[in-house]
């Protein structure tokens, strides 16, 4: 009977004590990279969503104000405030923040009402754009989501608001703050309505 001698040498205690910390460092590095990538993706996704909302609401505002022949403001004669204040229309949901009006090529009177409406389960608001043609509601869409209209501690004004950009009240300014996840983005749009050029 021939017996082959096989070297069945196992790992020594010293080799194990060296290998375990090395394996732990590699594992910690891989886990760290994974969580960094995950948090970066979340940050980028939230930032893109916030910028998208800013652009969408700003585009609607710019489009309507460029055509406007009338910008309603029940404070128009009050030189002490730049805030645009409009009367509430019971037929339109939300607190109205801007009303613009113009006559189109077919002599239809187009009235666009922007209002801030509550979002269920959130303190953030949605910006509703309601189009009224010749006194009848034609359409209503959400022009912007996740708008923060809370009061800014420094300016004591709402973070999302419509106002005149100067005492001459010839240019409308839309300041908006959008929150998406932990990200908050702010944009300002200014438009001079054609009636005021």
> pLDDT by residue for the chain (197 residues), tens digit each?
555 555 667 778 888 888 888 888 898 888 888 888 877 888 888 888 888 889 999 999 999 999 998 888 887 776 677 888 888 777 787 788 899 999 988 899 999 999 998 888 888 999 999 999 998 989 999 999 899 988 888 888 889 999 998 888 889 999 999 988 888 889 999 999 886 54
144 token code pair: 């912007």
Using left for φ > 0, alpha for ψ between -120 and 50, and beta otherwise, residue 87 falls in beta
Round to whole Å and give the CA distance between 162 and 152.
Answer: 15
Which two tokens mark 48? 């893109």
pLDDT of residue 5: 56
The pLDDT of residue 3:
55
Of 95, 88, 76, 91, residue with least CA distance to 164: 76
| 197/167 Cα distance (integer angstroms) | 15
Q: Which two tokens stand for residue 136?
A: 């009848």
pLDDT score of 58: 92
pTM: 0.75
Give residue for tokens 């409308």: 172
Q: Which helix (H) or strand (E) covers residue 185, if one does?
A: strand 183-191
Q: Which helix (H) or strand (E) holds 76?
A: none
Both tokens assigned to 89:
């229309």
Cα maximum dimension of the chain: 115
The dihedral built from the CA positions of residue 125, 131, 136 and 138, taken in this order, carries a sign that is negative
Residue 53 neighbours by CB distance under 10 Å: 23
According to the model, what pLDDT value does residue 130 have?
Answer: 93
* pLDDT at 4 (0 to 100): 59
Q: Where are the domains of the chain?
A: 46-85+141-196
- 29 Cβ contact partners less than 8 Å away, ≥ 6 residues apart: none
> How far is 140 from 148, CA to CA, in rounded Å?
21
């Amino acid at each position: 009977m021939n017996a082959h001698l096989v070297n069945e040498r196992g790992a020594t205690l010293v080799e194990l004590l060296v290998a375990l910390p090395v394996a732990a460092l590699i594992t910690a590095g891989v886990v760290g990279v994974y969580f960094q990538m995950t948090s970066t993706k979340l940050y980028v996704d939230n930032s893109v969503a916030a910028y998208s909302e800013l652009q969408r609401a700003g585009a609607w505002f710019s489009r309507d104000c460029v055509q406007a022949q009338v910008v309603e403001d029940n404070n128009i004669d009050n030189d002490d405030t730049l805030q645009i204040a409009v009367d509430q229309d019971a037929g339109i949901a939300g607190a109205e923040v801007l009303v613009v009006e113009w006559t189109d090529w077919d002599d239809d009177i187009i009235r666009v009402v922007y209002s801030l409406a509550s979002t269920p389960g959130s303190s953030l608001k949605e910006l509703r754009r309601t189009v009224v043609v010749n006194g009848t509601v034609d359409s209503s869409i959400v022009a912007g989501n996740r708008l923060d209209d809370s009061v800014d501690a420094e300016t004591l004004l709402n973070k999302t608001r419509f106002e005149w950009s100067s005492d001459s009240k010839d240019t409308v300014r839309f300041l908006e703050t959008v929150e998406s996840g932990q990200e908050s983005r702010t944009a300002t749009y200014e438009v001079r309505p054609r009636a005021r050029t």
